[in-house]
Amino acid sequence: RIVYLNGEFLPFDAARVPIMDRGFLFADGIYEVSAVLDGRLVDNEAHLARLDRSLGEIDIANPHTLAEWVALQTELVARNGVAEGLVYMQVTRGVYERDFAYPPAGTPPTVMMFTQAKSVAANPLAAKGARVITVPDLRWKRRDIKSVALLAQVLAKQQAAAAGVAEAWMVEDDAVTEGSSSTAFIVTKGGTLVTRPLSTALLPGITRQAVLRLAAEAGLTLEERLFSVAEAHAAEEAFYTSASAFVMPVVELDGKPIGAGTPGPHTVRLRELYLEMARAGA
Ligand code: PMP
């Protein structure tokens, strides 16, 4: 397995980061994840645009142009022979003696990438549908930045794992904010697609954006607003989206079935449309 670190393609075991890396000490860095389908990156320019924005929001200069990022990703995917899976990219504020404030200008960032081969389109969970639990949202107030500070999400996902379910939906003031690693959606009994609008209180999901475009094409009415846990229980359908799950049907929330307790027709259609778009290389 070959990974990328600071300008070099290295065997996995040879890629080492010093203990004073600010990502390790402070979670002072950001990341991005693009899916790979049929050996090609999915919606990748949008992911790289969000990576650029995350870096800008925390004053780290983007170490690469868009074209350089794409070239590095493409080479890493090829070197690892990944047909289906993920590319993970991370940039931290680099290595310096421990101090909360930024290190001197010119301190090079730590840039790292690895691939993971896994079933994304062929994920068997998509046919069955995912079970989900709700947990309190313990995160900070700049959730629009794709920060590597993910402790609240680690705790949420572990609660889901302990409950034997696939995802945790985080809840704040009785409203569903997001999944621990996904954007949350419901389809109401009236056939309206509901997901919350973008703000600093959530990650602007790249898959969310694609699904909203497809929903309009599929003739679904869209309402961008918060929805409550009770509304989710009463929904006809529910699903979550992410680069690695694409469109994942939710069939059970906190032990109670959603709709018929099977993947809903709008959700199944949106997943198909998303896969078509991804395969067409959009
Ligand atoms: N919200 C959160 C909190 C996430 O961690 C993720 C995935 N990283 C998403 C939403 C989905 O974003 P995307 O569709 O860009 O993968």
* 79 shares its domain with 102: yes
Predicted pLDDT of residue 56:
98
Locate the ligand 1 atom nearest the alpha carbon of residue 243 and give its number. 16
Flag whether pLDDT at 81 surpasses 70. Answer: yes
Total domains in the chain come to 2
Active site residue 189: no
Report whether residue 182 contacts ligand 1, using a CB cutoff of 6 Å.
yes
* 113 shares its domain with 129: no
| pTM of the predicted model as reported, rounded to 2 decimal places | 0.97
Biggest distance spanned by C-alpha atoms of the chain: 58
Residue of the CA atom closest to atom 8 of ligand 1: 181
* CA quadruple 89, 93, 96, 101: dihedral sign: negative
Predicted pLDDT of residue 175:
98
Q: Hey, what amino acid is at 155?
A: L
Residue 266 CA to residue 257 CA, distance in Å, equals 17
Predicted pLDDT of residue 229:
98
Predicted pLDDT of residue 208:
98
Give distance in angstroms: CA of 219 to centre of ligand 1: 25
282 falls in which pLDDT band (50, 70, 90)? low
Give me the CATH number covering residue 75. 3.30.470.10
**Domain ends where: 51, 86, 117?**
117
Q: Which residue in this structure is represented by tokens 């027709």?
A: 265
Residue 165 CA to residue 162 CA, distance in Å, equals 8
* 135 shares its domain with 275: yes
Calculate mean pLDDT across residues 187-203.
96
* 157 shares its domain with 263: yes
Flag whether pLDDT at 224 surpasses 90. Answer: yes
Residue 230 CA to residue 253 CA, distance in Å, equals 10
Flag whether pLDDT at 203 surpasses 70. Answer: yes
Report whether residue 241 contacts ligand 1, using a CB cutoff of 6 Å.
yes
Ligand 1 pocket test target in 183, 196, 247 with most atoms within 8 Å of CB = 183
Calculate mean pLDDT across residues 12-40.
98
79 falls in which pLDDT band (50, 70, 90)? very high
Ligand 1 pocket test target in 31, 147, 181 with most atoms within 8 Å of CB = 181
* 206 shares its domain with 236: yes
* 197 shares its domain with 111: no
Ramachandran category for residue 52: left, alpha or beta (phi over 0 → left; psi -120 to 50 → alpha):
alpha
User: Tens of pLDDT along 135-188?
Assistant: 999 999 999 999 999 999 999 999 999 999 999 999 999 999 999 999 999 999
Predicted pLDDT of residue 219:
82
Predicted pLDDT of residue 138:
98
Calculate mean pLDDT across residues 17-28.
98
Predicted pLDDT of residue 217:
85
Written as six digits, the tokens of 47 are 């992911």
* 142 shares its domain with 272: yes
Flag whether pLDDT at 254 surpasses 90. Answer: yes
**Containing structural domain, residue 49:** 2-117
* 93 shares its domain with 134: no
For residue 75, the surrounding DSSP H or E stretch is: helix 66-80
Report whether residue 208 contacts ligand 1, using a CB cutoff of 6 Å.
yes
Calculate mean pLDDT across residues 16-42.
98
Give distance in angstroms: CA of 212 to centre of ligand 1: 15
**Domain ends where: 117, 141, 168?**
117
Ligand 1 pocket test target in 203, 246, 247, 271 with most atoms within 8 Å of CB = 203
218 falls in which pLDDT band (50, 70, 90)? confident
Task: Decide: 249 and 277 in contact? Cβ < 8 Å.
Answer: no
User: Tens of pLDDT along 89-146?
Assistant: 999 999 999 999 999 999 999 999 999 999 999 899 999 999 999 999 999 999 999 9
* 104 shares its domain with 167: no
- What is the ipTM score, two decimals? 0.99
* 180 shares its domain with 224: yes
Calculate mean pLDDT across residues 222-243.
98
For residue 110, the surrounding DSSP H or E stretch is: strand 110-117
